[in-house]
Structure 1
Amino acid sequence: MAAVSLEVYGIVQGVGFRYTTKILADQIGIVGKVLNRSDGSVYIEAQGPSEKLAAFIEGVKASPSPAGRVDRVAIHSIPENSYTRFNVMYE
């Protein structure tokens, strides 16, 4: 298992990005969370087997939301958490 945080910048709020990210995570088998940030970015914590995590990251970079556009993604390794599913969070 591996775990990362993603800070996603671009047109990622108000376009269904969090919900389509959850769908992507559920399809691939990734657990974690996604939430909007006040600066207009989206923050994701994702955890799963390395090959599934890599596929998830590529899906996020391509924007799971057809109305969204990802300009930049900052990726950081983080300690594993006890997630059991992927959740959309609210600030």
Structure 2
Amino acid sequence: MTVTELQKNPVNYTQISVLADDILKNVVERESEAGGKLGDLDSYEIEGGETKSEVLQNLAEFQFSCVLYNAALENACSELGARMSAMDSSSRNA
């Protein structure tokens, strides 16, 4: 999925979630090839059924997709604002 594909339809969270999954898969693959680790998740205390690394990994992925969604919405809003401003200027000059 590319940015131009995202701009063809109104932005929704599902599209951004798919994009975030693709990005995170690439990051994980590159980190594993380099022998690195995505972060030290064992330094936090979490109680529950899942392990703390699973919870923090899910939370980090959700936060990343929310940040991408926010960026896509800001991009769409600024594009519409620029179009409105351009149309207003052209109407005044005509």
Whose Rg is larger?
Answer: 2
Q: TM-score, normalised by structure 2?
A: 0.26
Q: Indicate the structure whose relative CO is greater, using CA pairs within 8 Å and at least 6 residues apart.
A: 1
Structure 1 or 2: larger strand share? 1
Q: TM-score, normalised by structure 1?
A: 0.26
More helix by share: 2
